[in-house]
Chain A
Amino acid sequence: MYLGSKKDKYLTIVLFLAPAVGIFLIFKLAPILISGYLSLLDWDILRPFSSAEFIGFENYRNWILGGELFVMLKHTLTYMILYIPWIIVLAVLEASVLNQELGGLKLYKICFYLPVVSSWVAGAIIWGFVLNGKYGYLNQWLSLIGIEGPNWLEDPFWAMPGVVLAALWKDTGFYALIVLSALKSVDKNYYEAATVDGAGAFTQFFKITIPLISPTLFLLIIFNVISGFQIFEPVFIMTDGGPANATTVVVERIYRYAFRIYKMGYASALTWILFLLILFVTLIQFRFEKKVNYDR
């Protein structure tokens, strides 16, 4: 293709890519190296940087042997085990219903998506009140059917399930849209053939729909594992890692150590542990990803 003079072309390339490349170098590439270096230092930000001490992998050792890391990972795992199966089930349910040929779906769609566009801060504040043991509507409704609801966010056992409830409310609409677009791409001929063979709706759903959208579901699980490692707002706002440190999670700890206790080196080591965890999950994904044609 003819693109005018060489001079104009190269001038434009430099001009147009300079901002993006500049930001890439300063705020994306350099930080990875810097945080790697920081993680090998004993330094809190209140002391001048010159007094920072190089301690090798001491920070990592302290994280791994200190016990706090495994408590965090246990909380994160609890969150994922409670959250991921439900988010998949709810998103598939919501998407399947939205996939029917019914009138008035647009209004439902808008409604389902409202929590997604609302901020997590506001959502967490609302749910903090919803889950209030005494005045929240959830426990009052539970008492109507004779169940005495727990003091959700004040109870070490029930705090994480409370966070999960809020997260399910917040995220389902988003994943439902993604599942819906997968459902829309399923070839209708399969269903017609199955109907001719006398397969019922349930059989069709479990034998045709689910297998055909399984690549999407697999991606959603991987994606939710990766973002599950990084939950922050709901925990930070609703429980602040409490009660009695029952909901401490990785990003919340990174924030606390870096910007509350100012242990920059120690916190950087935790960011790298997080990074490696996420990398590990991504590699598993590549390893197991069957060669599927994504019809885009």
Chain B
Amino acid sequence: MIDKRKIQRIIFYIILSIIAFLVIIPFLWMISASFKSNEAIQTIPIRWIPEEPTLEGYRSILGLSNVDFLKAFYNSIAYSLLRTSGQIIICSMAAFIFAKVPFRGRNILFLMVLATMMIPGTVVMIPNYLILKNMHLLNSYTGLILPSLLEGLYIFILRQYMIGIDDAYLEAAMIDGASLRFSFRKIILPLSRPAIFTLVLFGFMGSWNDYLWPLIVLSKKTKWTLQVALGVMNTQFGNSYHIMMAGALISIVPIVIVYIFTQKFVEEGVTLGGVKG
């Protein structure tokens, strides 16, 4: 009997390892190629460990004449931080009202906000571009961020969480004569920290990896985010794989580091939000 269980366990570990191998190989391929020279990339059979490791790919990236890669990296950080903090501020304020402050018409309003989750981003993409154009906000981070500040799912999740906070906390503060705004800042927000932290993670990852919208709004080279810059490079150096792999690696590493340190929260967030792309 013991033997049968042992064999089962071994089989499970073998399946796990095969999947892990298939998942990891493209990453190893990227790392390996990013440290090769342009010639070494085209050796058959493949050498997974570069014979003469070189930083040629990385050097080329920093020396591109038409893409300022460092600037793009900085832009991506700025975009991710700004968009995420904006989303959290605006969505948590709205969620607080929807959770704790009743008024006539509140449910209708909440349903309308939820309905925005049903609209595919592609449908509003063209009009939003034109609206920003008329506001003279193209090529600005204000314009890039504005439409995404209202995130139906975030409001939904924060509201759920805030409903779960005992009314007694809020009521005690109100009876002591605090204003609603004060109670929100000093009581509700601190108590919502776990939900907020999860959403900060998702907001950051979503912004960091965002591509189509920045591609449309940002036509100026100096404004490009990392993803847009990578896309442009791909059309120009598509065949200089060592450069492209170095670029891909630089764009993946920060988010992977963030993920590894916050793995538990990300997992909870996915389960919490259910199916959400």
Interface residues of A (CB under 8 A from B): 1-4, 8-10, 12-13, 15-17, 19-21, 23-24, 26-28, 30-32, 34-35, 38, 45, 93-94, 97-98, 100, 102, 105-106, 108-115, 117-123, 125-130, 132, 134-135, 137, 140, 169, 172-174, 177-178, 181, 219-220, 223, 226-227, 230, 232-233, 236-237, 240, 250-251, 254-255, 258-259, 264, 267-268, 271-272, 274-275, 278, 282
Point out the residues of chain B lying under 8 angstroms from A38, CB to CB.
Answer: 126-127
Report yes or no: A28 in contact with B23, Cβ–Cβ below 8 A. no
CB distance from B242 to the nearest CB of A (A): 10
Interchain CB contact under 8 A, B271 and A23: no
Decide yes or no whether B124 CB sits under 8 A from chain A: yes
5 smallest CB-CB distances across A and B, nearest first, come from A31-B127, A119-B209, A31-B124, A34-B127, A27-B147
A-side contacts of B248, CB under 8 Å: 121-122, 125-126
Tell me if B1 counts as interface (CB < 8 A to partner A). Answer: no
B236 within 8 Å of A (CB atoms): no
Knowing that A19-B94, A34-B127, A122-B252 are A-B contacts, what are 5 other residue pairs whose CB atoms are under 8 Å apart, sorted by A's residue number? A12-B181, A24-B112, A129-B241, A258-B126, A282-B118
Min CB–CB distance B235 → chain A (angstroms): 8
Q: In whole angstroms, how far apart are the Cα atoms of A135 and B45 in the complex?
A: 9
A sample of 9 cross-chain residue pairs with beta-carbon separation below 8 angstroms, ordered by A number, consists of A2-B174, A12-B179, A27-B128, A45-B130, A113-B267, A130-B26, A130-B29, A137-B29, A258-B126
Contacts A102-B9, A113-B263, A174-B270; is A26 near B124 (CB within 8 Å)? no
Judge whether A17 and B180 touch: CB under 8 Å.
no
| Interface mask (B93-133 → A, CB under 8 Å = 1, otherwise 0) | 11011001101000001001100101110111111111100
User: How many angstroms from the CA of A182 to the CA of B19 in the assembled complex?
Assistant: 20
Which chain A residue has the least Cβ–Cβ distance from B103? A13
Question: B70 to chain A: closest CB distance in Å?
Answer: 17
Shortest beta-carbon distance from A258 to chain B in Å: 5
Q: List chain A residues, Cβ under 8 A from B170.
A: 1, 3
B179 close to A4 (CB less than 8 A): yes
In angstroms, how far is the closest chain B Cβ from the Cβ of A4? 5
Chain A residues with CB under 8 A of B180: 3-4, 8-9, 12
Contact of A255 among B150, B155, B212, B260 (CB under 8 A): B212
Contact residues of B: prevailing secondary structure:
helix
Q: Which of chain B's residues has its CB closest to A277's CB?
A: B120
**Among candidates A16, A117, A271, A274, residue contacting B259 with C-beta atoms closer than 8 Å:** A117
CA distance A174 to B206 in the complex (A): 14
In whole angstroms, what is the CA distance A131 to B170 when docked?
58
Other-chain contact of A108, B16, B103, B147 (Cβ < 8 Å): B16
> CA A255 – CA B122 in complex, angstroms?
9
